Structure 1
Amino acid sequence: MLRYFLPLSFLLLSTAICFAQDKETLRQLPPEAVQLYPTLEDMEGYAVGQYKDYLLIFGGSIRSKISDNNYQDFPNLDILLIDFNENRASAYTNGSYEGSLGEQISATGLSYYQNDGLLYLLGGYGYSETHNQFITFPYITVINVKQTVLSLLNGMDPVASFYQLCDDRMAVFDAEMDYNGDEFFLMNGKFAYKLRPFADNPRYVEEKYNEEIRTFKISKDGAEWHLEHFETWYDLEAFREQYGTLIPERIEQQLQQLQQSRNLSQ
């Protein structure tokens, strides 16, 4: 199902101002995207891919007011396509993607990174119909952003542009993700699940991965993707000694914030 959202008025700035190059990861949406799809202002935990004058938005949660002093988070069950050429936003339901793929791209707390036209979605937390409970998804999904955008624009199913890899070590959400050109890095994050989610007394279990870093590589052999050289670092000083200047920017920022927090607590 496709839905369009058109603003009454929209002043489009140059996309050269709004976007970085395709190979870069977009961490903050330009204001023009929120003008085209105002619900984005109430969303968090989503992943963003970009191709030329288009944005793709996967997953996340939507905070909605259900009474005067009560808010509730609902999952985003659509793939959002922001089209700056036509000044419109379109929503494509995830309902046509069965099983783990549709479940993960509807999750919140997704970690993501885009490189060379490929968007890597990792983990996330949400409801799994397959497991009949809320889980942390143990998947990496690799998405060809260009092919997905073009498929949606032409009314075609983009599922051939997705590849999903299952690995329990990828079951994490709300983690910081970055890439140094050779390895991927994950810092902090959580693992959680909720048993009996629709009962009067559901049980929520959460484990935090504070001050932990995971490093790994993703490679492709023909049509198959592989997770390689995975390692979990608990000793952050040893991690810094090992990687030095190869630590990517966002992980370095997290390490510096952690050190500042430690200094203040002393």
Structure 2
Amino acid sequence: MKNFSFFLILILSSTFTALNGQQEFSLQLQPFTIGGFTGIQSFATGQDGPYILLVGGRTDGLHQRQPFASFGPAGNNTSIQVINPVSREHWVASIDGLAAPLREQLQSTNMQFYQEDGFLYLTGGYGYSATAGDHITHNRLTAIAVAPLIEAIREGQQDIAPYFRQLTDDYFAVTGGYLEKIGETYYLVGGQRFTGRYNPHNGPSFVQEYTNQIRKFRIIDDGETLSVADKTAITDEVNLHRRDYNVLPQIFPDGTAGITAFSGVFQYTQDLPFLNSVDIRPAGYTVNNEFQQYLNHYHCGSAPLYDADGNKMHSIFFGGISQYFLDDAGALVQDNDVPFVSTIGRVTRSADGSMVEQKIGELPTLLGASSEFIIHPETPLYAPGVINLNALPEDTALIGYLIGGIASTQPNIFFINDGTQSWAQTTLFEVHYVPQSISSYPSVERASNLSGLEAYPN
């Protein structure tokens, strides 16, 4: 189950006006393995050239539903890994020798992260804390010197503590949200503070507090002293009550840069995934109720590609977990158990602001949940984190890698999960851009029945 031999073609077709001509292309996914890489999910990642840094997350599959078995310390990722997908090399360093506050955060799951100027910033994360004697959401902001840490791990240095700095602030006690940056301001979007053991029946074993916020701040960092400034927050208990979702950098139709929060769970008034999206700019945020996203509801690997010539913003989502999927006939199927899916979805925003969702392919099996798409260092960017579609070559080009995540044996394993039905994915995928003239996929039809979902705080 853990190794696949396939060459998957994902169709992406964009039809422009006669003035702009046509730009059509496909994506090809090629699987590969790296010796020593044992799989990881819900992790943070940084980059230095061809080297990819993997921090935190878990080494098992979907968490079990029983409080005594959920998010056990045995599944914590207690090492920092470095991989080179070009040379297929792997290095690892233990975090056991680090101070407790740092060590405990670095083995937590669902941290928010963002890399800027050689530093990888981590906030929050959830996991067992021996210091607290309980599962907690960490209230820390950590800065990692990416290149020096990668070099130290590759050289086998035992003392890696000098490459970390950390501060404590409840403002950063968030898990399952997103950390992005617009201009000089960081945006900590959504998420929750979760304390205690997971319990699907809302028992007394935990306290769960959604942030319901967009938290904005600046990081002041000269490489030695780490601090934050200008902390503010925007609160919306209805539309920002979401977590474990996808937030992607965007170029909006007017040419300005921002971010969009897609889907997530759960709505404030009912236990249903969000189907709308939230556009976030420096001036504020706008809820887009004109668009409904039916595919890829939970966090998965994602890739933003911008076509400036056609003024089209493409957001691609690789598999994951979703309330909906398309059957072989192209009909939208609602599954209220919210299963693992193999759907490759694309949301395209056009020049008039309208958004269309399409299924553009499938992964070879039930993959993608809690994975990450890593942009190849030589891929041209239009803006930070946004691939420049028009600058890609006329021939095939490697644009990135799909790394980690959860692989599942069945769509719905929640009620039978004993820890053997899923695992942290060990197969990695090269993602190639290929110019190709083919017809486009139809848009996903609007669903009419959105009731009846039985949801849990997963």
| TM-score of the superposed pair, with normalisation by structure 2 | 0.43
Partners of 1:65 and 1:175 lie apart in 2 by: 18
* Residue deviations 1:223-256 (CA, integer Å, cap 9, x gap): 32111100110159xxxxxxx9898533466514
CA deviation vs aligned residue, 1:140-167 (integer Å, no higher than 9, x gap)? 1101100001111222222111110111
- Match for 1:131: what amino acid? A
Q: Which residue of 1 aligns with 2:182?
A: 180
CA-CA distance at 1:44 after TM superposition? 2.5
For residue 48 of structure 1, what is the aligned residue in structure 2?
45
Contact 2:258-2:279 at 8 Å conserved across structures:
no
- 1:189–1:66 CA distance, 2 compared to 1 (3 A): closer
Q: How does 1:15-54 map to 2 (within 5 A)?
A: 35-36=33-34, 39-40=38-39, 43-54=40-51
Question: Which of 160, 163, 167 is matched with 1:161 structurally?
Answer: 163
Q: 1:125 touches 1:135 (CA, 8 Å); kept in 2?
A: yes
Residue 104 of structure 1: SS of its match in structure 2?
helix
Q: Establish whether residue 60 from structure 1 lines up as the match of residue 61 from structure 2.
A: no
Q: Distance in 1 between matches of 2:33 and 2:148?
A: 25
Note if 1:194 corresponds to 2:204: no
SS of the counterpart of 1:112? strand
Gaps of 5+ in 2: 4-28, 238-251, 263-276, 281-285, 293-449, 451-458
Match of residue 250, structure 1, among 251, 259, 267: 259
CA distance in 1, matches of 2:42, 2:130: 20
Larger RCO of the pair (alpha carbons < 8 Å, separation 6+): 2
Structure 1 residues 106, 252: closer, same or farther in 2, change over 3 A?
closer
- Does the 8 Å CA contact 1:63/1:72 hold for their aligned counterparts? no
* Contact kept? 2:112, 2:123, Cα under 8 Å: yes
- Aligned match of 1:141: 142
User: Aligned in 2, Cα 1:246/1:60: closer, same or farther, shift over 3 Å?
Assistant: farther
Shift of 1:126: 0.8
Distance 1:143 1:80, change over 3 A: same
Shift of 1:260: 4.1
- Superposed CA RMSD in Å reads 3.7
SS at match of 2:194: strand
Relative distance call for 1:115 and 1:246 in structure 2 (3 A) is farther
> In structure 1, the residue corresponding to 2:287 is in which secondary structure?
helix
Q: TM-score, normalised by structure 1?
A: 0.71
Deviations 1:162-209 (A, max 9, x none): 1101111100011121101301001110101117x9xxx971111122
Deviations 1:72-131 (A, max 9, x none): 652111111103464222232221112111111101011000111110011101111111
Distance 1:263 1:251 in 2: 12
Mapped partners of 2:220, 2:130: distance in 1: 30
Greater Cα shift, 252-261 or 118-127: 252-261
Taking a change above 3 Å as real, the CA distance of residues 88 and 220 of structure 1, as seen in their structure-2 partners, is closer
CA distance in 2: counterparts of 1:66 and 1:204, whole angstroms: 15
The residue number in structure 2 matching 1:150 is 151
Given that 1:60 and 1:107 are in contact with CA atoms closer than 8 Å, whether structure 2 keeps it comes out as: yes
Distance in 1 (alpha carbons) for counterparts of 2:260 and 2:100: 32
User: More helix by proportion, 1 or 2?
Assistant: 1
Q: Please list the CA deviations of residues 23-47 of structure 1 after superposition, one character each: whole Å capped at 9, or x if unmatched.
A: xxxxxxxx7897216643xx32200
| C-alpha distance in 2 between matches for 1:217 and 1:246 | 24
Q: Are the structure 2 counterparts of residues 81 and 255 from structure 1 closer, same or farther at C-alpha, using a change threshold of 3 Å?
A: same
Q: Is the 8 A contact 1:188 1:208 kept in 2?
A: yes
Q: Which amino acid in structure 2 is aligned with residue 63 of structure 1?
A: D
Corresponding letter in the other structure for 1:255: V
| Larger CA deviation: 183-192 vs 152-161 | 152-161
Cα 1:250–1:75 change in 2 (3 A) is farther
Q: Within 5 Å, give how 1:68-83 maps onto structure 2.
A: 73=71, 74-83=75-84
Cα shift at 1:262: 7.9
AA at the equivalent of 1:103:
E
User: Residues of 2 paired with 1:173 and 1:134: CA distance?
Assistant: 12
Distance in 2 of aligned mates of 1:178 and 1:229: 16
Q: Which is further off, 79-88 or 119-128?
A: 79-88
* Cα 1:192–1:246 shift into 2, 3 Å: farther
Q: Secondary structure at the match of 2:206?
A: strand
Does structure 2 retain, via aligned residues, the 8 Å contact 1:176–1:251?
Answer: no
SS at match of 1:102: helix
Structure 2 residue identity aligned to 1:194 = G
Instruction: Report percent identity of matched pairs.
Output: 26
Paired residue secondary structure (1:172): coil
Closer, same or farther in 2 for the Cα pair 1:127/1:235, shift >3 Å? closer
Larger gyration radius, structure 1 or structure 2: 2
